Amino acid sequence: MDAAPLAHTSKGDVRGFRRGATAVFLGIPFARPPIGALRFAAPVPLEPWGGERDATAYGPTAQRGDAGITLIPEPSVPGDATLNVNVFAPADAAPDADLPVLVWIHGGGFTSGSPASRWYDGDAFARDGIITVVISYRIGFDGFGLIDGAPANRGLRDQIAALEWVRDEIRAFGGDPARVTVAGQSAGGGSVLALMTSPMASGLFSAAMAVSPAIGAVSRQAAGAFAARVAARAGVRADRAGFASVPEERIVAAQRSALAPHLVRARSSLATLLDDGLPLGPVVDGDVLPRHPLDALSDGASSDVPLVIGSTDDEFTALTARFAGVLRLVPVPLALAALGLRRTRRRAYLDSTRRRGAVAVLGGFFTDRVIRSTVLKTARVRGAAPTWLYRFAWASPVPSIGVACHCLDVPFWFDHLDADGVATIAGTPPADLAAQMHGAAVSFARDRNPGWPTWDATARRARVFDAPASTPAVETDAYAEVAPLV
């Protein structure tokens, strides 16, 4: 039997396990547990440990309790040491192998999600000579609440601390700290765009991949107002001492209660959610996140960082399906007008969209406003900076889904179609499509080129991933139906 893999980090040795041709190390801490006096602090470097540390089980997660049924199964793991990483490396990689590294940031709307998911296993990347590091970070109010007397954007600071750990320690696993690609999906994709514009993250990665990016850029005013609502529901002062005086579970309950009125208003008027966004996420604080990411990218932030960015075709289209009976009675132009789309843009959008019927058009509008327009805006503001766009167009055969929905593409990027829960949303997914998408990710991480032309303002090309393979695979003006919204 092969010996369990051992890595020698600057903080101490970690012992993982071998799974086929992959050396797996789970739950390696990169900062001290954020509890007690460190609960609302910036991440604090870890003290060295003596001897060997076991790295054969997922570490504690910032997500607490049963997450319920989610598109991506992301279990919660109890415990205090929630700032940890999972590393997947080729089992035969020597410390001086200088392999490229992919750092993955999970999604979850900045309030949920977990790195302890088999969907994020990096076995296929290890097979292809790429080291994968899946990171954790504080979420919800503990991670992103604006608290008087505490550093802002603690969740983003955690992500940066994890990237610093990669810079300092990845050679022990065979990785090259100069060849790091930071990638993430949904809130993780939004985090990628934030990190590209954060001075604190400068130099920690040399390429980026934003999958279905849900951008986070909460104003200080909105974040402060939300913190006051959380404090009122928790019965404490809206400062660090007040929030620290009550246990975490009470703050989580207060957070949910404070979010509820916002979500109720959003359900009664989708325009609220589209215009204002959720009040919990990365804050434009003038420090970690000095400006809105799109504004900073427009002014040249990370113009030297190659970026792959894209979305599924129907991220949230299915959200309106439950209201099909009512929506069939609503004239689509009238509904779009109520959602704030003015007449000229409304006509252009209806002329360009491939969707038909109120349910599909309104659900698609939500998708296009929240995610797909961010993709096109990012490409435009980056100008000549190396940017590759893609679209994931494969529609799930599962009757309750039937479209290329949010999260459906993740197991294709990881080439992990046999992971638990994939069949629930994807049925029997096409392996050749996974090979194409995973191959593109490997090529980008290794060679800084995913294999199709970059986006430019004239041709506006994007790779379209579908099965059977779309013809042509690269489309001109591939995001044309979103253009009226940008």
Catalytic residue numbers read 186, 315, 406
Task: Tell me the C-alpha distance between 437 and 190, whole Å.
Answer: 20
CB of 392 within 8 A of CB of 310?
Answer: yes
Place of tokens 């009470």: 250
DSSP codes of every residue in 211-233: ES-----B-HHHHHHHHHHHHHH
One-letter-per-residue 3-state SS of 72-124: CCCCCCCCCCCCEEEEEEECCCCCCCCEEEEEEECCCCCCCCCCCCHHHCCHH
Tell me the backbone φ, ψ of residue 23, rounded to 5 degrees: -90, 120
Cα separation of 390 and 370, whole Å? 17
DSSP conformational letter for 486 = -
83 and 160 Cβ atoms separated by less than 8 Å: no
Rounded Cα gap, residues 404 and 317, in angstroms: 9
In this structure, how many other beta carbons lie within 10 angstroms of the beta carbon of residue 68? 6
Residue count of the chain, please give it: 486
Interacting residues of 54 by C-beta distance below 8 A, sequence separation 6+: 14, 15
Token couple for 128: 């292809």
Among 291, 455, 294, 451, residue whose Cα is nearest residue 383: 455
Q: How far apart are CA 86 and CA 55, in angstroms?
A: 9
What sections of 269-357 are H helices per DSSP? 270-276, 293-298, 324-327, 332-338, 343-352
Angle at CA 471, nearest 5°, toward 312 and 209?
Answer: 35
Distance CA 161, CA 165 (A): 6
Helices 220-234, 248-268: axis angle to 10 degrees equals 120
